[in-house]
Amino acid sequence: MKTPLALVACALILGACATAQPTIYRPQASASDVGFAQYKMEDGRYRVTFRGGPGAPVGQVTDYALLRAAELALADGYAWFRVADRLTQSTGGGGGPTFSVGGGSGSYGRRSSVGLGVGTSFNLGPKPALSTTLEVVFGKGPRPPGEAYDAQSVVNTIGKGMGRI
């Protein structure tokens, strides 16, 4: 009896691992795929989205969105960019482990009974996938004070961390 149960558990764990997409810096092949997408709203303004694989850390997803924004700024001849709006969303995945306790009683003529049950469950599926969407505004000349990013520095720093440079 233990062998079939162990085989089912292993199959569930391997199935959960097989469906997870790794977080890779690349263009999205579809809207639900891992990677980046951009939409040019007007000259010097883009909406950039990066969607990570299940379990990707929020920092990695945000860095990859910033990297794409910096690449677009440089490709369009701009020196810096600032984030005008930011949205991070979580999709998929389930809850973590749960624990429950239940009880009941019954009476059957002269006899009665009391029952107590304890249960636990664990989510073996993939963790939630995060996506970050940035609305970015590009600029030329000296970088303004505040939360503006130097596009070349972002490419050098994040790109180097990814082994791209």
More confident residue, 25 or 14: 25
Length of the chain: 165
For residue 127, what pLDDT is reported? Answer: 73
Residue 8: what residue type? V
Quote the CA–CA distance of 141 and 80 in Å, as a whole number.
8
Domains in the chain and their CATH numbers? 21-92+127-164 (3.30.1360)
Residue 102: pLDDT above 60? yes
CA distance 36 to 26: 6
- Other CB atoms within 10 A of residue 123 CB: 13
Q: What local confidence, expressed as pLDDT, does residue 12 receive?
A: 46
Taking the C-alpha atoms of residue 124 and residue 16, their distance in angstroms, rounded to an integer, is 6
> Distance of CA 123 to CAs 20, 58, 84, 98, 99, Å?
14, 21, 37, 9, 12
Whether 2 has a pLDDT exceeding 90, the answer reads no
The structure tokens listed for 49 are: 């989205």
83, two tokens? 């984030």
Q: Which two tokens stand for residue 91?
A: 């999709």
Mean pLDDT, residues 37-58 taken together: 95
Q: Are 56 and 129 in contact (CB under 8 A)?
A: yes
pTM of the model: 0.69
